[in-house]
Structure 1
Amino acid sequence: MDERALGTTGYDVTEVGMGTWNVGSDWGEVSEDEGREAIRAALDAGITFLDTADVYGDGRSERLIREVLADHDAEPVVATKAGRRLDPHVAADYDREHLEKFVDRSLENLGVETLDLLQLHCPPTDAYYQPETFEALSGLVDEGKIAHYGVSVERCEEGLKAIEYPGVETVQIIANPLRQRPTELFFREADRRDVGVIVRVPLASGLLTGALDADTEFPEDDHRNYNRDGDAFDVGETFAGVPYDVGLEAVDELRPAVPEEWSMAQFTLRWILDFDAVTTVIPGSTNPEHVRANAAASRLRSLSDEERATVTEVYDESVREYVHHRW
């Protein structure tokens, strides 16, 4: 698999990584054995970037990564996140005291002395206007508890503000054929500033796998059931913020553009990777076959002008009005 430089961190990581939200929680019942098997499949496929968070299963995802790595030769870059353990989740508490406590917990969960990359976990917008928050992160670097830091954002404006701070080396953001606004100004600015871009929710919570339909039922503890209206967290995290029926219709409109030998998921991942600003894309899955197929997208050709034009047309005509102005 091809590798790309992760901003100025000094890490080279595979352009297809793995997100482990699915392994931790919020996607229905997943056993620990299934979680470990999925992580192992990613490493066996050559993936060298794993993304997790301290709240995924209350640390379960981090712990499973530690357990798999203890018995595997791979040495991937492991990125985790902090901040969502705050209750209430307020910008003022993105301070040294709270962040250090969260970092210490992640260090224990992952069984390491230094975190490769710590990302603020979609904090309130006001946190991006608090220099003391980023000073706290720099202090944790100086102390040796984290090697590098970045942010995971909901909105392009948050990402643009974050990269004004010189210590922010990466930004994680949602982008896919159903969420195209980041590919405009944000991608250009991140590329210009040599900031690593980590693309999450690339498959729009499964919509862009092409495997869902109007009759698909989701478990009670799956965010695709309980967060469709944003009742638990930002609605943009579920189906990329696109109303489910609208998303299904858009996927059907995209199908004719997908090469016969490709899956819809591979087509989607390749569309994202064709942007030079993107460092890595982090689809999540607990199915080892899907993990391997996602990794294989790295070896596919770039999309043709005609294929990309179809993606643009579907977005402009069917999806843009629902998402473009919001994120």
Structure 2
Amino acid sequence: MQTSALGQTGYEVTEVGLGTWNIGGGAWGDVADEAGREVVRTALDAGVTFLDTADVYGDGTSEQHIGTVLDEPEYDREDVVVATKAGRRLDPHTAEGYTAENLERFVDRSRENLGTETLDLLQLHCPPNEVYYQPAVFEALADLKARGKIAQYGVSVEKVEQALKAIEYPGVETVQIICNMFRQRPAELFFEEANRRDVGVIVRVPLASGLLTGAIDRETVFPANDHRNFNREGDAFDRGETFAGLPFEAGLDAVEALEPYVPEHMTMAQMALRWILDHDAVSTVIPGSTSPDHIRDNVDAAEMDPLSHETHGAVRDVYEAFVADDVHHRW
């Protein structure tokens, strides 16, 4: 698979990585432990070298699954970059909680879950907006790096404005952000600035919570403990994490409008991933899945030719007609 430099971290990572929110359970329905570990193995066997997780995915279950698999004899930790996140364990989740003491406590827990002395990449986990204006938080991350508990640090953000503020701090080497055919605003000014500053860009929610797989329709029923059921209005966390913030019915209308433009040799999911990878600023994209076949199909998108200018134009037209009014100004 094609690889890209992850900003100035020194890491070369595969253009398609693996997001592991869904293997922790708790927000995507129930996932058995062995099924979660098999997801990690499938991705590694397909050549993936970048895994993204967080300390709150299944209260650490996702991190533990990754740590367990990387300890198996057929895998070498040195071949894989694992990014995790910290901050969302705070209750209440407030800017005041982002202290050096709390961050170190979260880092130590993640180190234990992952079975490593040094975290490859620690990301602040969509912190409150005020955190981006508190230099002491970023000084605490720099201290953890100096003491060898983390190798690199970055941020995971909800909004473009937060990303632009975060990369003003010189130690922030990566930004994780939602970008897909239904969330196009990051591909404007932020991608330009990330390129200029050589910041690594990690794209999450690339398939808009499954909308852009083409496998969801108006009859689809989601389990009660699936965020696509309980977070459509942002009742549990930022609404933009669910269907990229687009109302479900409007999302289905947009998918139907996109279907005629899917290239013959691609699935809609592959087209969605390829659309993201066609942006030079993107280092890696992290789709998640519990299906081995889907994981392998996602990986294949990295080897496919870029989309044509005509297809990119059609995607933009669909976005402007069906999506932009609902999401463009919000994130």
What TM-score results when the alignment is normalised by the length of structure 1?
Answer: 0.99
Instruction: Tell me how far 1:217 sits from its aligned partner.
Output: 0.2
Q: Distance in 1 between matches of 2:267 and 2:31?
A: 24
1:245-292: per-residue Cα shift (whole Å, max 9, x none)? Answer: 000110111111111221100000000000000000000001111000
Question: How far apart are residue 205 of structure 1 and its match?
Answer: 0.2
Does residue 30 of the first structure (1) align with residue 65 of the second (2)? no
Give ranges in structure 1 of 5+ residues lacking alignment.
Answer: none
The aligned residue for residue 87 of structure 2 is 83
* Matching residue of 1:102: 106
Distance 2:186 2:172 in 1: 18
Q: CA deviation at 1:93?
A: 1.3
Pairing partner for 1:235 from 235, 239, 249: 239
Cα distance in structure 1, aligned partners of 2:185 and 2:16: 21
Per mean C-alpha deviation after superposition, the further-off stretch among 252-261 and 114-123 is 252-261
| 1:306 matches 2:310 | yes
- Choose which of 249, 257, 267 in structure 1 pairs with 2:261: 257
Map of 1:285-324 to 2, 5 A cutoff?
A: 285-324=289-328
RMSD (CA atoms): 0.5
Structure 1 residue 146 corresponds to structure 2 residue 150: yes
Give the distance between the partners of 1:168 and 1:62, measured in 2 at CA.
Answer: 22
For 1:194, the equivalent position in structure 2 comes to 198
Letter in 1 for 2:44: L
Q: Does 1:136 align with 2:146?
A: no
Aligned equivalent of 1:172, options 173, 176, 184: 176
Contact 2:69 2:75 in 1 (8 A): no
C-alpha distance in 1 between matches for 2:188 and 2:99:
32
Gaps of 5+ in 2: none
1:100 Cα deviation (Å)? Answer: 0.2
Q: Deviations over 1:30-77 (max 9, x none)?
A: 101110111100000000000000000000000000111111324310
Report the counterpart of residue 112 of structure 1 in structure 2.
116
Q: Which runs of 4+ in 1 moved over 3 A?
A: none
Alpha-carbon separation, structure 2, partners of 1:5 and 1:91: 31
Whole-angstrom distance in 1 between the partners of 2:75 and 2:325: 47
SS in 2 for 1:9: coil
> Which deviates further from its counterpart, 169-178 or 66-75?
66-75
Query: For 1:202-281, what aligned pairs fall within 5 Å after superposition?
Result: 202-281=206-285
Q: Give the corresponding residue for 1:73.
A: 75
Letter in 1 for 2:14: T
The 5-angstrom pairing of residues 53-68 of structure 1 reads: 53-68=54-69
CA drift of 1:95 comes to: 1.4
1:150 alignment partner, SS class: strand
- 1:216-269 deviation line (CA, Å, top 9, x unaligned): 000000000000000000000000000000001101111111112211000000
Give the drift of 1:92: 1.4
Indicate the larger mover: 256-265 or 47-56: 256-265
CA separation in 1, counterparts of 2:42 and 2:294? 10
Match of 1:46 in 2: 47
Equivalent position SS for 1:58: helix
Match of 1:23, as an amino acid? Answer: I
Q: Deviations over 1:296-316 (max 9, x none)?
A: 000000000110011000001
The count of aligned residue pairs is 327
SS in 2 for 1:23: helix
Amino acid at match of 2:306: S
